[in-house]
């Protein structure tokens, strides 16, 4: 047998290795210091304790893989949801009835719409279900969200609604068959579907819904019903053991887990741990809502999708609390009212859609009142009624969510539109409006999206945020839409205005402030941020509504000195319609709409060296661009991306420069 030996290590090799090791250690120390500074000692310490619990085996001891036998005294469910009668539900869903039944029929046939996408196979088995959840591992590039999402049982809401609408026993039978399949294939505390306390809590909530809706079905034998409530108890027992992780994250994980824990305590009043679950759940629920929602309504994760999710969790918690004569404290009510106004200030009243702000993981944990993932009208109506004491919309199919949660809408007066929020700056009116993003961060940013402009015209998001697409993927699509360069904002010298330190972690936070526009209220918004000060550059942006159909965005980019030459790239993301591009104007034509963009500069040096580029779906249509992969895409929900037009104007400068983007919108026909 022949053995091969590497060449002898030279002194140069040793020196190079030592140098690289030193650099790596310096980077780690720098990142650790910045994490402590930006995140705070408490969050870092809690996460370290969680990791220690995993490494030491303590968490594994607290969540044993042996099958638990929860002894319940018969059927003892305390209802959380308010079940509408068939007649009431028919009136609520209206013309959406057939669409809802088609979706339920898909689930009966084994298909599910994950994240609101096209139907795919409903798969409830998972790899690694023979091992403790702390020891499961995924293959590189595999996205655990596609394992977790069907196991949340979010599809049970479609089955339950269809069952109450029709009385068809196929829908109840489908639930019980799928539930038994999941229970057999995912034993307690085994496999990835028990890894996250949040996933466990969301599944628990869906179980409680199913327990109520299917209680009187011919397929709901007593052993099935008591088994389902035993599963609720097993799920509730799983949550406290890793609550320290949720506290370290201090985001929707914590709200989800304690909401689930609290509702389990309310729903199973005879369980020996019910009082403890209620007490722990309510304490941390109030704490989380009070600390995670700013007084102006901004949610800690700077994400539209997570903002909706937390409002849904608050509404669920309130529904459960109402049944036991418990209510939120005054301060928490004030924060939830502010969070509701924040959402309403970003709602497009024509479509129910909202800007695709921040991380969008496709979560819609209470899919009632609409068939469209991006329609936020159901949660807007329910939250406005619950936390503001007013309707935000007239009666419609979106009232369904409020009905299931026991929120009475019939005597509420509709509030005027649009709704003001101190956290969201908006210009325009219901049919034509725009926002400029400028945030002072007190918590972790999601995307590098300061100075992002969103523009809406007659229900269409004509200048948009790209969204998320995927957290875990190969190559550039590993959370690749978080960068400044794919947002509607200038990028300087090809770098982000913050330091990316992980898939979900930014350091050196990019802080912005609003600039007073005296005498121009309702017409101009101006802000500036400090993300490029490390390059010696100040960036200020103004969004101006000139007249109906006419907008202007002005960017002032000011270097501290005039010795160094810098490069800037200004992007606008538009719908993937027919287009034409000349020397200074991009025209985009849809079926009934025309968009015109013209970018100009006041600096001859920049104007002479301006280059234009147009990309659709990662393919360059005009101009030149290296690595266009993530450009020209829009992700409406998780795991889905559609083609868009990325229009980029690149220029070099060494003196202060003003770039003016003129936008014209025209309805055709």
Average pLDDT over residues 185-190: 96
426-667: which CATH architecture? Answer: Distorted Sandwich (2.70)
Structure tokens at 306: 């997570």
| Residue in 74, 311, 313 with CA at minimum distance from that of residue 205 | 313
Higher pLDDT among residues 409 and 584, named by residue: 409
Strands (E), 304-439: 426-429, 432-436
Can you give the pLDDT at residue 558?
93
Q: How far is 312 from 364, CA to CA, in rounded Å?
A: 9
Q: What percent of the chain has pLDDT over 70?
A: 91
Parse the chain into domains and list their residue ranges.
60-404, 426-667
Q: For all residues of the chain together, what is the average pLDDT?
A: 91
pLDDT, tens digit (0-9, with 9 covering 90-100), for 476-529: 888 899 999 999 999 999 999 999 888 888 989 999 999 987 667 789 999 999
Can you give the pLDDT at residue 518?
65
- Give the 3-state DSSP-derived string for 75-98, with helices as H, strands as E and coil as C: CCCCCCCCCCCHHHHHHHHHHHHH
| DSSP tag of 419 | P
| DSSP tag of 294 | -
Can you give the pLDDT at residue 648?
96
Can you give the pLDDT at residue 3?
33
Average pLDDT over residues 39-46: 81
pLDDT, tens digit (0-9, with 9 covering 90-100), for 229-267: 999 999 999 999 999 999 999 999 999 999 999 999 999
pLDDT, tens digit (0-9, with 9 covering 90-100), for 287-306: 999 999 999 999 999 999 99
Can you give the pLDDT at residue 519?
63
Can you give the pLDDT at residue 95?
95
Kindly tell me if the per-residue pLDDT of 324 is higher than 90.
yes
Can you give the pLDDT at residue 610?
83
Average pLDDT over residues 299-316: 97
Can you give the pLDDT at residue 572?
98
What's the pLDDT band for 25 if we cut at 50, 70, 90? low
Q: How far is 389 from 142, CA to CA, in rounded Å?
A: 45
Kindly tell me if the per-residue pLDDT of 47 is higher than 70.
yes
Helix (H, G, I), strand (E, B) or coil at 114: helix
Can you give the pLDDT at residue 6?
38
First and final CA of the chain: distance in angstroms? Answer: 82
Can you give the pLDDT at residue 476?
82
Structure tokens at 46: 């809690």
pLDDT, tens digit (0-9, with 9 covering 90-100), for 96-151: 999 999 999 999 999 999 999 999 999 999 888 999 999 988 877 789 999 999 99
Kindly tell me if the per-residue pLDDT of 4 is higher than 50.
no
Helix (H, G, I), strand (E, B) or coil at 532: coil
Average pLDDT over residues 175-186: 97
CB-CB contact of 437 with 452 (8 Å): yes
Which helix (H) or strand (E) segment holds residue 181: the answer is helix 169-185
What's the pLDDT band for 5 if we cut at 50, 70, 90? very low
Helix (H, G, I), strand (E, B) or coil at 117: coil
CB-CB contact of 203 with 151 (8 Å): yes
Higher pLDDT among residues 217 and 76, named by residue: 217
Q: How many CB atoms lie within 10 A of CB 457?
A: 24
Cα dist. 409→42, 127, 279, 386, 554 in Å?
Answer: 42, 45, 30, 9, 44
pLDDT, tens digit (0-9, with 9 covering 90-100), for 391-400: 999 999 999 9
Kindly tell me if the per-residue pLDDT of 445 is higher than 60.
yes
Can you give the pLDDT at residue 70?
60
pLDDT, tens digit (0-9, with 9 covering 90-100), for 340-389: 999 999 999 999 999 999 999 999 999 999 999 999 999 999 999 999 99
| Residue in 54, 360, 56, 58 with CA at minimum distance from that of residue 195 | 54
pLDDT, tens digit (0-9, with 9 covering 90-100), for 160-175: 999 999 999 999 999 9
Q: How far is 284 from 257, CA to CA, in rounded Å?
A: 9
What's the pLDDT band for 40 if we cut at 50, 70, 90? confident
Cα dist. 198→154, 458, 642 in Å?
Answer: 13, 38, 29
Can you give the pLDDT at residue 383?
98
Domain 60-404: homologous superfamily in CATH: Chondroitin AC/alginate lyase (1.50.10.100)
């Amino acid at each position: 047998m022949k053995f091969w030996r590497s060449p002898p290590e030279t002194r140069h090799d040793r020196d190079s290795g030592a140098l690289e090791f030193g650099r790596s250690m310096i980077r780690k120390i720098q990142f650790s210091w910045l994490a402590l500074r930006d995140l705070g000692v408490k969050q870092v310490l809690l996460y370290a304790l969680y990791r220690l619990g995993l490494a030491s085996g303590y968490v594994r001891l607290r969540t044993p893989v042996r099958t638990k036998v929860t002894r319940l005294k018969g059927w003892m469910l305390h209802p959380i949801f308010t079940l509408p009668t068939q007649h009431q539900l028919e009136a609520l869903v209206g013309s959406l009835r057939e669409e809802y039944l088609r979706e339920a029929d898909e689930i009966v046939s084994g298909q599910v719409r994950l994240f609101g996408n096209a139907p795919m196979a409903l798969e409830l088995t998972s790899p690694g279900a023979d091992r403790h959840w702390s020891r499961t591992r995924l293959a590189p590039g595999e996205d655990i969200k596609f394992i977790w999402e069907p196991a949340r049982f979010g599809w049970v809401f479609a089955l339950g609604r269809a069952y109450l609408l029709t009385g068809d026993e196929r829908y109840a039978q489908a639930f019980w068959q799928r539930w038994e399949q999941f229970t057999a294939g995912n034993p307690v505390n085994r496999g990835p579907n028990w890894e996250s306390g949040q996933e466990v809590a969301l599944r628990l909530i869906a179980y409680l819904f199913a327990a109520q809706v299917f209680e009187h079905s011919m397929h709901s034998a007593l052993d099935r019903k008591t088994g389902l409530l035993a599963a609720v108890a097993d799920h509730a027992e799983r949550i406290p053991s890793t609550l320290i992780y949720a506290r370290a994250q201090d985001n929707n994980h914590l709200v989800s887990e304690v909401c689930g824990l609290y509702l389990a305590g309310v729903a199973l009043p005879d369980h020996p741990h019910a009082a403890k679950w209620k007490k722990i759940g309510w304490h941390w629920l109030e704490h989380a809502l009070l600390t995670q929602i700013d007084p102006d309504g901004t949610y800690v994760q700077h994400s539209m999708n997570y903002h909706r999710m937390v409002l849904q969790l608050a509404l669920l918690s309130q529904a459960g609390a109402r049944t036991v004569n418990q209510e939120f404290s005054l301060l928490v009510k004030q924060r939830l009212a502010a969070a509701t106004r924040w959402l309403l200030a970003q709602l497009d009243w024509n479509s129910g859609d909202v800007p695709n702000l921040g991380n969008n993981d496709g979560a819609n944990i209470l899919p009632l009142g609409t068939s469209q993932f991006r329609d936020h009208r159901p949660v807007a109506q329910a939250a406005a009624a619950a936390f503001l004491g007013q309707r935000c919309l007239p009666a419609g199919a979106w009232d369904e969510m409020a009905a299931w949660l026991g929120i009475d809408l019939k005597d509420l007066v509709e509030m005027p539109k649009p709704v003001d929020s101190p956290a969201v700056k908006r210009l325009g009116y219901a049919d034509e409006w725009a926002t400029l993003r400028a945030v002072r961060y007190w918590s972790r940013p999601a995307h590098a999206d300061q100075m992002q402009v969103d523009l809406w015209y007659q229900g269409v998001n004509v200048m948009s945020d790209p969204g998320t697409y995927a957290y875990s993927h190969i190559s550039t699509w590993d959370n690749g839409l978080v960068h400044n360069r794919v947002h509607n904002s200038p990028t300087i010298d090809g770098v982000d205005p913050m330091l990316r330190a992980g898939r979900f972690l930014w350091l050196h936070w990019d802080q912005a402030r609003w600039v007073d526009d005296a005498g121009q209220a309702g017409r101009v918004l101006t802000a500036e941020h400090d993300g490029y000060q490390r390059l010696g550059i100040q960036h200020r942006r103004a969004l101006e509504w000139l007249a109906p159909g006419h907008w202007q965005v002005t960017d002032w980019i000011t270097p501290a000195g005039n010795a160094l030459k810098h490069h800037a790239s200004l992007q606008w993301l538009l719908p993937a319609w027919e287009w034409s591009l000349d020397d200074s104007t991009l025209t985009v034509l849809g079926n009934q709409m025309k968009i015109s963009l013209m970018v100009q500069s006041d600096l001859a040096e920049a104007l002479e060296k301006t280059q234009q580029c147009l990309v659709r779906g990662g393919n360059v249509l005009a101009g030149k661009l290296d690595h266009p992969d993530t450009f020209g895409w829009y992700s409406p929900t998780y795991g889905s991306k559609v083609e868009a037009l990325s229009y980029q104007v690149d220029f070099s400068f060494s003196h202060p420069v003003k770039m003016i983007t003129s936008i014209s919108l025209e309805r055709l026909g």
